[in-house]
Structures are given as structure tokens and as C-alpha cells.
Amino acid sequence: MKTGNQYRKSLKQLAPNLYKWGKPIKDVTRHAATRLHVKAIADCYDAGFDPEHAAIFTGESHLTGKRAHRWNTLMRSADDVVANARIKRAQFQRTGACHGATCAGWTALNALWATTWELDQAEGTDYHRRLENYFRYLEENALATAGALTDAKGDRSLGPAAQSEADQYLHIKEVRDDGIVVRGVKAQICGVAAAHEIVCVPGGGLKEGEEAFAVAFAVPRDVAGLTAVETRRPSDTRDEEEGWDAPRAGGVGQAFLLFDDVFVPNERVFIQGQTRYAGVFINHFTALYRAPIGACVAGQGDVMIGAVLALAEAGGLSQKVFQEKLTRMAINNETTFGLGLGAILQGQAHPSGVWIPDPLLAHINKVQVAMLPYETKRLAQEIGGGITETGCFPSWQDLTSPLYGDKLLTALAAVSDGETRARLARLVEWLTVGGGIPGCLNGGGSPDGARLVVRALEPWKKFATNARRIAGLDQN
């Protein structure tokens, strides 16, 4: 296991293949675009040594039986997946941000655990053993992994093999004796800057003829041939400013990954050409990912509740005035949290040893996290007032201007001073229309995709048969 500082040190040793604003990011632990997400992940590492949080931020290794960072272990029981959920919620409560570099990669590896087991059973291959070795490597080195699913996709009405440009989907360009060469673009990958490793997996089901796209593997983040471009977020230039217009506590980052003939040795390849298992993987992944996602969204909402409560209080308003709205916010948060727990409880152990939550309830949760938080955000802005809705508040530079800053701060003071109100208002802005928006709607796949799963899994015919019987038809 690593402390936060050991983790930071290890990141500095990676080669600088990350860019933003067209320029390289030399040190992810210090660059304004990445330091906050690194800080959030460093907090996750430190939490493993903190008695209050160690029980959820660490777990027992399925390989060595030792205590390990939880994101280096297999989730073997409902309790293990609940711990995943708890990390998500705790991480937001602690830092106001998500734990990207210890989230999707971890989940992808767990889903691959079941997928490779099935694949080996059916095909006599040995991907599962490779994955076990890779898991061992991660645990031994206490590494953070980003998970890369989404491809650039190009024309969305066409499949990967039909695109005009092959690079719109990550694919195998060449098969060598000792490994494969891959190229193409993965888009909007969370946590890249704070990860040591990238776990690449298919972003959707595949069919015959799309073998080149059926590929899962892991590479170091700074592998030769990979260029990562950090994306923009709303108000992200504030992270480079002095002052308080952006909170400094936590952050998230997403990147586009350009694979330009990257070599992956066989030992790190986990699916290679078996199109059928792209779908198997996606099923396992989405069940595992979308059950705890409600806890992630609940954590976001917890911060919104806290921020508007603190802001209202700073403005001289009592909690009572807003209690109905606050209660509604809590109902939304706890609904996605509790529904996710239900999905986990309804799950079952896969023969490979990983616990797979109930897919129907997991996808129901995905639909809810794409809707309920919008009401929560609206209520946050309604409680917070106009300055939180559009951020229309003077900048830090103005509030500290020698010419008129004092007058502004005096006028803005209430029960608390002007700075306190400014900081809290900016936090609500950041959470609802700023860089802190964590992406619950489309993150981890679209709600319409989840609705299709609901359609596929709900026993419609059985319900119709029941209804006919209850109506007095079809009973003889």
C-alpha cells in the first residue's frame, strides 16, 4: 500500500505524454488542470491509513489475503460492492469530487475477471491467468488504473467497421508473436492524469466482422505511442487563477486517448478478437458500475445540501425556510443510493468469484441518476439564489480591488463576511454549472441504453399472462 505522498511521487516518474491547451503537462501533481484530481486520488490512498475510513478504502486481497487498497482487489461479495459504493459517497463528502482514477478501471478489471473466466471456459484460452497476474502486479505496486471504454465513434449510425476512418474506434492493427499493436481514439476517459495504468476495454457489444475492435488490455499511462489530451470543463481556467473563485478541494479530469500504434505484450492482453465477449464484458461491467453509481450521485448531492445550507446560514436564513426543498434533495440522494444497494443485494456470485449486482435494478438506477440529480441541482440553485444559478457575483479580483473591493465585501456581508458568502456561492456554482459537475447523466453510458436493458429484462409476457388470469380470462 502507498500513502498519498508515495502515490504522488510515483506519478511524477511517468513520462509526460499528457497535454492541455495544446501544451504538455509536465507534472500532473502541480499543473492546474490535473493537480486537484491527483489530490483527490492521493486522499483515497491516505484514507487507507485513516482508522475512520480504512475499512472501506482497503479490502482483503483475493490473491494474497493481505490488506490492500480496495481498487486493487476483487469484489467477491455484496459487502465488497457496497464498499465500492461507500468509497464513492465518502469521496464526494470528503473532497467534493469523484475518485476517477480508482473507479472505472477497477470496475473494468472486475468485469474482465468474470468475462475472461467465461472466455477461457469456452475457448480454452488463458486470459484469466494473465489477468490474475496483472491484478497481482497492481496490488504489489498499489497502482491506480483508469478504465477506457468509450470510443470516439465517428458517425453514430454506423458500426466500428463501417466508419470512414478506422481510428474512430480503438482496434488491433497488427498481431505479432509477442503481442498486438493497437491504434485509435478513446474519448472522455476519466481519471487518466491520476492513473498509473490504463485498462482498455470494448465500449459496446460487437458482432461478427468486428474482430479487430474486440480487444481488452492494459498499458502504462505513459506507454510509447499514446498521447492523452485533457479536456476542458466549464470554468476550468479558474483552476489556474489566484483567489477563491474555484474551490481547491477536489477535482475530476477526463482525457481523449490517441493510440498511435501502441504495442501491448501478450501477457497484458485480456480479450483479442472474440466479439461475443465484448457483449459479455459490457453486461458484467454495467451491472457492476451502475449499482454503486447511485452512491456517487448521492455523494454529489450531499455536497450540494451542505453547500446551500452553509450559504443560507451565512446569509442569515434558517434551515427551516428551505426544509421542504432540502428534504426533497435528500430524498433524491438517498433514492439513488438505496436503489443501488438493492441492486447489489439482489446480485449473485459469478462462478469466477466476482459478485455481479442485479442488472435490472442496476440499470434502473442508471436511469434515475440521469434524472433525479437535475432536480437536486435546481433546488440547490433555488435555495442558493441568483448568484448560484449563473454565478453572477463579482470576481475575486474585484472583491479584493483596492479601489472598491471593501465596499463590495461590506455590502455582501451578512451573518458571515463577504468572502464566506462568495466562497460558498462559488461552490454551488461549481457543483451545478461549473467544473465540479461530475457527469451523472451520460457518465458510464447513456440512460437510453439503460432503458433498453430494462426493456430486455422486464418479464412483460409473464405480467400480461398474470393480468389475463386476474381478469378472469385464460384460466381454464
Q: Map the footprint of a copy of itself across residues 204-233, applying CB under 8 A.
A: 227, 229, 231-233
- What is the 8-class DSSP label of residue 71? G
Residue 174 grid cell: 497488427
- Short-list 288, 230, 266, CA closest to 26: 230
Q: Which of 13, 156, 177, 348 binds a copy of itself (CB under 8 A)?
A: 156
Least distance CB 266 / a copy of itself (angstroms): 27
Q: Which of 35, 89, 94, 284 binds a copy of itself (CB under 8 A)?
A: 94
- Short-list 313, 296, 328, 318, CA closest to 424: 313
DSSP-derived secondary structure for 220-248: ETT-TTEEEEEPP-TTGGGGGSSSSSS--
385 forms part of the interface with a copy of itself (CB under 8 A): yes
Q: Which of 161, 345, 353, 449 binds a copy of itself (CB under 8 A)?
A: 345
The stretch near a copy of itself (CB under 8 A) out of 64-72, 111-119, 207-215, 407-415 is 407-415
400 forms part of the interface with a copy of itself (CB under 8 A): yes
Widest Cα–Cα separation across the chain: 89
Binding to a copy of itself in span 36-55, by CB under 8 A: none
Least distance CB 130 / a copy of itself (angstroms): 29
Query: Which CB, 1 or 166, lies closer to a copy of itself?
Result: 166
323 forms part of the interface with a copy of itself (CB under 8 A): yes
Q: Which of 49, 309, 353, 449 binds a copy of itself (CB under 8 A)?
A: 309
Binding to a copy of itself in span 410-429, by CB under 8 A: 410-415, 420, 423-424, 426-427, 429
* Whole-angstrom distance, CA of residue 364 vs CA of residue 269: 32
**What are the beta bridge partners of residue 187?**
none
**What are the beta bridge partners of residue 171?**
183
Cβ burial, residue 435 (10 Å; 0-12/13-18/19+): buried
Binding to a copy of itself in span 247-306, by CB under 8 A: 247-250, 254, 256, 258, 260, 302-303, 305-306
The stretch near a copy of itself (CB under 8 A) out of 67-75, 141-149, 274-282, 314-322 is 314-322
Query: Which CB, 133 or 446, lies closer to a copy of itself?
Result: 446
155 forms part of the interface with a copy of itself (CB under 8 A): yes
CA 371-372-373 angle, to 5 degrees, is: 100
DSSP-derived secondary structure for 362-409: HHHHHHHHTTHHHHHHHHHHHHH-HHHHS--S--HHHHT-TTTHHHHH
The torsion region of residue 455 among left (phi > 0), alpha (psi -120 to 50) and beta comes to alpha
129 forms part of the interface with a copy of itself (CB under 8 A): no
* Whole-angstrom distance, CA of residue 283 vs CA of residue 383: 40
| Sequence-distant (≥ 6) Cβ neighbours of residue 129 within 8 angstroms | 120
Cβ burial, residue 67 (10 Å; 0-12/13-18/19+): middle
Q: Which of 10, 237, 266, 283 binds a copy of itself (CB under 8 A)?
A: 237
178 forms part of the interface with a copy of itself (CB under 8 A): no
The stretch near a copy of itself (CB under 8 A) out of 191-199, 203-211, 278-286, 430-438 is 430-438
194 forms part of the interface with a copy of itself (CB under 8 A): no
The stretch near a copy of itself (CB under 8 A) out of 50-58, 195-203, 207-215, 363-371 is 363-371
Binding to a copy of itself in span 436-475, by CB under 8 A: 437-439, 441-443, 446-448, 451, 454-455, 458, 460, 462-473
CA 442-59-13 angle, to 5 degrees, is: 70
Q: Is the dihedral of CA 92, 95, 97, 100 positive or negative?
A: negative
Q: Which of 5, 12, 21, 64 binds a copy of itself (CB under 8 A)?
A: 21
The stretch near a copy of itself (CB under 8 A) out of 7-15, 100-108, 116-124, 161-169 is 161-169
* Whole-angstrom distance, CA of residue 170 vs CA of residue 350: 29
343 forms part of the interface with a copy of itself (CB under 8 A): yes
SS3 label, residue 113: helix
